[in-house]
Amino acid sequence: MTDTDTLRNTPIIIVTSYAMVGDREKYLAAGCNGYIETPINLDTFVAEIERYLSPPIGGGRP
């Protein structure tokens, strides 16, 4: 197994304080799994990260 195979299913989540119009769509189209803008509510942030770490039901992105 290569390093690429090991990391293939690692979710990529953008966390940014410098959000511009269209950034979310651009990053998701590039293959990122999630996009979170600041300011961050800690409860919401933790729930969002947990959602990406849980295996999706039926496959695909969360």
Determine contact, residues 27/45, Cβ cutoff 8 Å.
no
Q: For the purposes of burial, counting CB atoms within 10 Å of the CB of 49, is it exposed (0-12), middle (13-18) or buried (19 or more)? A: middle
pLDDT tens, residue by residue, 2-61: 777 778 788 899 999 888 999 999 999 999 988 998 888 888 888 888 888 876 565 555
CA distance 58 to 42: 28
pTM higher than the cut 0.85: no
CA distance 31 to 33: 6
- Which pLDDT band holds residue 1 (cuts at 50, 70, 90)? low
**Residue 33: C-alpha distances to residues 1, 22, 38 (Å):** 23, 16, 17
pLDDT at position 5 is 77
